[in-house]
A and B are shown apart, each in its own frame.
Chain A
Amino acid sequence: MFRNYIKIALRNLKKDKGYTLINLIGLSMGIGVCLIIFIFLQFHLSFDSFNKKAANIYRVTTSEQGPDGDFRSTGSMEGALAQTLLDEIPEVRASVRASRYGKTLITIGNENFYEENILRTDPSLFDIFTFPFSQGDPKTALSDKSNIVLTKSVAQKYFREQNPIGQEIVFNERNRYIVTGIVEDPPAQSHINFSMVINIPDSLSGRSIMDWNWLRSFHTYVLLDEQASPNDVEAKIPSILEGKMALGNAEFHLQSLTDIHLKSDLGWELFPERIFSINYIYLFSIVGIFILLIACINYVNLATARATTRLKEVGVRKAAGAQQGNLFWQFTGEILLLTFTSAVFSLGLVELLLPYVNKLMDLQLSSIVIWSPLFITGFISFIFLIGIISGTYPAFILSSFKPAEIFKGNGKLLTSEGLRKGLVVFQFSVSMILIISTIIIDQQLTYFQDKNLGLNTEQVLNISLESTKTRELGNVFLEKLANHSNIESVSASGDLPGNSGTTLYLYPFEDQELPMPARYMSIDPQFIKTMEMELIAGTNLTIPNTKSEQISVIVNETVVKEMGWKPDEAINQRLDRFVIIGVVKDFHFESLEQEIRPAVMAPLGDANPDYISARLSPSNISETMDWIRKEWDTVADSYPLQFTFMDDTFESLYRSEERLGILFTVFCIITIIIACLGLFGLMAFMATKRTKEIGIRKVLGASIVDIVTLLSKDFIKLVVLGFVIAIPIAWYATNQWLADFAYRIEVSVDIFAFTGISAILISFFTISWQAIKSALSNPVESLKSE
């Protein structure tokens, strides 16, 4: 029996190649995209779970009301907290502090390099987290303050074939470290990332790190007893700290290790690039479900439409003694055959596409997860489920026909015109919602790139003077740059727009309760010119600004607005300890997701600069760059040149959104292709079914236009209906997304009109293809075939 079913299924699939192809392509793409989304989600959802003790590791965070009244969560803790928790709370088995050491000059032999991601931590790191050693002993590797542990890839980079153990590395030309251990690179799924690990020093600036109420700069993790309840532990913290530190209104929380990646709400993370928003998890899950639904709908629609061609078989089989159940399983078996074949193709598709997704998203997603026995079992059940979902209805419809009806030619009476139309409308609504979202995401991201930032980032080279030595050489180098003809303007500063920067809390009025948080930057007199900012009132800073009582500053428009002045009125006004001498037009110094905040620019004065910015003339940029590199080497000798172009810096603020946007767009396009395939198939089927009618109409004098209209009219109505349903949903969803951005595009009617018209056009062309084909066919041929 089973063989007979398989045989007839295969022959049917072969006979109707178009139908089979549409379903195969649709389902393979649908399942393939779903698998990729699954791998993507799995990657994010299982972050940090490689740690063997993950279930019992928590990060200590506080939420606290800041001086401006807003609640902020932070993970930065006092240096003594970790040890105190370990000593005072019995459930705490181990604790560890971690802080990230910024870009650091390291010297190996007599070569200098800059290294990022240096982790300062306690030896217990290797006890709590699972970072396996390939050389050295995790228990003793950090037993001395002069020890350093390297990752395998960093050891390979600097020492090649040499044994790295026992080698010396010098930080900032002062601190000497001896390599005592080599650890595997932290996995891509670790929210803690590092290339080198050292101890936290005992004291800073002569003061002990363990002093309370001084330094809060350590992310603190605890390992709890297996039976311990994090809520109980959390509740004990305040009483333990009572009398040790000023608690204020701070509330302590224990954040589960595996929650950090997706649910972090901290203002500042150790490795922000390893944090992801759970909203994207929801978004991509929804897209995946929709893609699959649309592919399934194709099957349901085509199969029910085609049911009439299978009716005779149903009648004959029933007359021969088949029960509805037999037939039901026969037809369900056919879709299962189709879905399982598609599933095999989709696995190939995943292997084919994953490298591109990785390149696009800068990830290392691996298809290994889908080859695990657990996943394969799940996947097979899932494919089975898809088969059942999309096969049940057509199979039920088909198997429920009464033979007498079929043989009388009344079979059509029961087919499901209404349902089919409903599903087509659904497909089109979803497709159009996705198109509209894609366009709006794209427009918003383009807007970020094109928006007038209030300064000109093009051709601005920012040189970062990382180490003390190079900072001392900064002014010498600046002089050299200033004399080059291809450099239009050069300036020095202590900070740059696009960096995370420092915030000052200003109290403009004596009796003021809430401060005005302002971004603080120190700049030289050329800075405004180099950045092409616009001074709208007052004067620029001048060089000799000797240590007078009051510091003259330039503020941005936002300060002036918040103070309730006009720009001109602001000049010579006092602002906390500053005097305003100039006002610049607002400029963006953060991502456009954030609203422009008050900014204060004070003179750099005699201080050594941290940055040198040079505006290059657009011609001969590469020659100029070569010259700059050469000059740097003569001035700074063995210190590597660290530079970025400012437009890249700004673009990188949106890089993750941009990447997600592209991925989303690709998925939307695939959805639309699948939906169109379905429409195409449905139309092709309708046209063949009406071949005879078309023949007769043509004999009676109908023109091609008449025939095309006849065939497309009904479908276009459905597309229009789908559009009408899509508008409010897309409107709501995109506005919801845009609400996160302080500077955003207006959702315009144009987008909707454009989407509607293109959807109608696309479907019209899809439909016309078939309609014209049948309209052009020879009527005699089609009439003869009946």
Chain B
Amino acid sequence: MIKLRNIDRYIDKRLQRNFILKGIDLDIEEGDFVSIMGPSGAGKSTLLNIIGFLDDANEGEYYFLDEPVHSLNERQKSEYHRSYIGFVFQAYHLIDELTVYENIEMPLLYRKVKGSQRKSMVADMLDRFNIVAKKDLFPNQLSGGQQQLVGVARALIGSPKLILADEPTGNLHSDQSKEIMETFKKLNKEDGVTIIQVTHSDEMASYGDRVINLQDGAVTENNPYEEE
């Protein structure tokens, strides 16, 4: 599903070139539940952003569903964001001016889903995450854990095939973290959703099938799919 070959991401500063990612080779198959680990500043977020088309690599090749990503135009990328990829952020990134309900509904608007259908889809999500009572509140009226549940609900509403989660439980206490990890695991096992998450915690990583270690912008460990 995802095939990275010799990916470089760097920043040019005056005379110096700072590599954030260097020579990344990575394959992720449909149905995988992958955890990316590594110290702060290793380039985990950058890698995840590149995978999710939020950022572009400077060098190397990236094939998404066997299509070269550099040949996708903005419209096609948006198309994938709308229907294929869901994002969960460490800082939740809910829109402060929209209510819980409206935040969850928002991706559907870009997918031009009809009003009545939207209503039932959002209602399902609210139900699933037990936040029906909170639907008319604004993000700043919620606790961190509740906000992240909304963030996950928002990521899932489009029934994505791929979920990219950057430290989704980084700001949550363990009960809330477990709840979210259980949700991910269920999605992965029952619906075959591919999940790539960044985490610092072994415990959270253990929900997945596979760990990728990143150190100074390079993959250092564990890639069972590596070709010979």
Contact = CB atoms under 8 A, between A and B. Distances in A.
Interface of A: 1, 4, 7-8, 11-12, 15, 312-313, 315-324, 326, 402-404, 407-408
Contact of B95 (A312, A403, A408): A312
B74 A320 contact: no
A80 B180 CA distance: 103
Interface stretch (B77-85, B120-128, B198-206, B214-222): B77-85
Contact of A322 (B52, B78, B94, B154): B78
Given A4-B102, A7-B102, A320 B93 contact: no
Contact of A407 (B54, B75, B78, B110): B54
A4 B46 contact: no
B54 A320 contact: no
Nearest to A309: B96
A4 B55 contact: no
Given A312-B93, A318-B81, A324-B74, A403 B49 contact: yes
B45 A1 contact: no
Given A4-B102, A407-B49, A407-B93, A319 B110 contact: no
Instruction: Select the residue from A7, A319, A404 with max chain B CB neighbours within 10 A.
Output: A319
A550 B52 CA distance: 108
Interchain residue pairs A-B with the least CB separation, the first 4: A321-B82, A404-B55, A321-B81, A320-B107
Contacts of B109: 1, 4
Contact of A316 (B78, B83, B95, B102): B95
A4 B106 contact: yes
Contact of A319 (B46, B81, B83): B81
Contacts of B94: 316
A749 to B, nearest CB: 47
Contact of B54 (A4, A8, A326, A404): A404
B55 A320 contact: no
A509 to B, nearest CB: 86
B184 interface: no
Contacts of B75: 323
B95 A319 contact: no
A15 to B, nearest CB: 7
Nearest to A9: B97
Interface string B76-115: 0011111100010101011111100010011101111000
A321 B81 CA distance: 4
14 contacts: A1-B112, A7-B98, A312-B96, A315-B93, A316-B89, A318-B78, A320-B110, A321-B80, A321-B110, A402-B54, A403-B54, A404-B46, A407-B91, A407-B93
A414 to B, nearest CB: 15
A445 B228 CA distance: 93
A326 B49 CA distance: 21
Contacts of A11: 97-98
A324 B97 CA distance: 20
Interface of B: 45-46, 49, 52, 54-55, 74-75, 78-83, 87, 89, 91, 93-98, 102, 105-107, 109-112, 154, 158, 166
B148 to A, nearest CB: 14
A13 to B, nearest CB: 10
A526 B158 CA distance: 102
A318 B111 CA distance: 12
Contacts of A317: 95, 106, 110
A360 B126 CA distance: 64
A327 to B, nearest CB: 10
A433 B98 CA distance: 45
Nearest to B79: A321
Nearest to A312: B93
Contact of B107 (A8, A321, A402, A407): A321
Contacts of B81: 318-322
Instruction: Select the residue from B45, B46, B54, B111 with max chain A CB neighbours within 10 A.
Output: B54
B45 A313 contact: no
Contacts of A4: 98, 102, 105-106, 109
Given A1-B109, A320-B154, A321-B81, A8 B95 contact: yes
Given A8-B97, A8-B98, A319 B52 contact: yes
B95 A313 contact: yes
Contact of B106 (A12, A15, A315, A320): A320
B87 to A, nearest CB: 4
A312 B95 CA distance: 7
A396 to B, nearest CB: 15
B184 to A, nearest CB: 18
A11 B166 CA distance: 29
A316 B110 contact: no
A323 B97 contact: no
A10 to B, nearest CB: 9
A322 B110 contact: yes
Contacts of B78: 318, 321-323
Contacts of B96: 312
B52 A320 contact: no
A320 B97 contact: no
Contacts of A321: 78-83, 107, 110-111, 158
A778 B226 CA distance: 58
Contact of B87 (A1, A15, A319, A408): A319
A410 B81 CA distance: 22
A319 B110 CA distance: 11
B89 A407 contact: yes
A326 B112 CA distance: 12
Contacts of B82: 320-321
A759 B169 CA distance: 54
Given A11-B97, A313-B95, A407-B93, A323 B74 contact: yes
Contact of A404 (B49, B98, B106, B107): B49
Contacts of A7: 98, 102
A402 B111 CA distance: 20
Contacts of B89: 316, 407
A313 B111 CA distance: 17
Nearest to A322: B110
A320 B109 CA distance: 10
